[in-house]
Structure 1
Amino acid sequence: MARYALGCLKDPYDHRDYDMAAYLKAAPVAEEVDHSPQFPPVFDQGPAGTCVACATAYYDKTFQKGVEHHWPLTDSQHQFSPLFIYSQRRKQPEDGGMTIREAMKIIQDQGVCSLACMPYDVHRINVPPTTEQRKAAQPYRARSYARINSIGEMQAYLVTNCFIAGVMVHEQFMDAPGGVIPMPEPGTQFLGG
Structure 2
Amino acid sequence: MKKIQILLLAISLSLAGCYSDRDDLNPNANNPSVPEIPQETENQFISEDGEVYSTGLECSGNGNYNIDAENLLESLVIPDSLPAAFDLSENLPPVGDQGALGSCVSWATSYYLKSFQEKVESGLPYSEANIFSPSYIYNQITTDECGGTSIPETLALIEEQGVAALELFPYTDNECETQPDEAVIAAAEEARIADYKGLSGENMLAEMKTLITQQQPIVIGAVLSPEFGITDSFGLSAYREHAVNYEDATCHAMLVVGFDDDVNAFKVVNSWGEAWGDNGFVWIDYQAFENVGDTDASFRVINQAYVAYDL
* Shorter-chain TM band: 0.7 to 0.9
How many residues align? The count is: 188
Q: Which has the higher helix share?
A: 1
Written as runs of structure 1 = structure 2, the 5 A alignment for 1:44-193 is 44-73=97-126, 75-90=127-142, 93-148=144-199, 149=201, 150-161=204-215, 162-173=217-228, 176=230, 179-185=237-243, 187-189=245-247, 190-193=249-252
Identity %: 28
Q: What letter corresponds to residue 85 of structure 1 in structure 2? A: I
Which blocks of at least 5 consecutive residues in structure 1 are unaligned? none
Inter-CA distance 157–14: structure 2 relative to 1 (3 Å threshold): closer
Larger Rg: 2
Structure 1 residue 141, shift from structure 2 partner? 1.5
**Counterparts of 1:77 and 1:135, CA distance in 2:** 15
Aligned partners of 1:6 and 1:51 also within 8 Å: yes
**Counterparts of 1:135 and 1:101, CA distance in 2:** 22
Taking structure 1 as the reference length, what is the TM-score of the superposition?
A: 0.87
Structure 1 residue 177, shift from structure 2 partner? 5.8
Q: Which has the higher strand share?
A: 2
Query: Partner residue of 1:3?
Result: 52
- The superposition leaves residues 116-166 of structure 1 with CA deviations (integer Å, 9 ceiling, x where unpaired) of 111111234122211111101112121100112322211110102211111
Structure 1 residue 13, shift from structure 2 partner? 4.6
Which blocks of at least 5 consecutive residues in structure 2 are unaligned? 1-49, 61-65, 253-311
Query: Partner residue of 1:37?
Result: 90
**Counterparts of 1:48 and 1:78, CA distance in 2:** 23
Structure 1 residue 30, shift from structure 2 partner? 1.7
Aligned partners of 1:8 and 1:98 also within 8 Å: yes
Structure 1 residue 168, shift from structure 2 partner? 0.8
Query: Partner residue of 2:77?
Result: 25
Taking structure 2 as the reference length, what is the TM-score of the superposition?
A: 0.56
Inter-CA distance 40–177: structure 2 relative to 1 (3 Å threshold): closer
Inter-CA distance 14–163: structure 2 relative to 1 (3 Å threshold): closer
Inter-CA distance 38–119: structure 2 relative to 1 (3 Å threshold): same
Q: What letter corresponds to residue 165 of structure 1 in structure 2? A: I
**Counterparts of 1:139 and 1:160, CA distance in 2:** 23
Secondary structure in 1 matching 2:54: coil
For the aligned residues, what is the CA RMSD?
2.1
**Counterparts of 1:132 and 1:142, CA distance in 2:** 19
**Counterparts of 1:32 and 1:135, CA distance in 2:** 40
**Counterparts of 1:57 and 1:30, CA distance in 2:** 28
Q: What letter corresponds to residue 60 of structure 1 in structure 2? A: L
Structure 1 residue 171, shift from structure 2 partner? 2.6
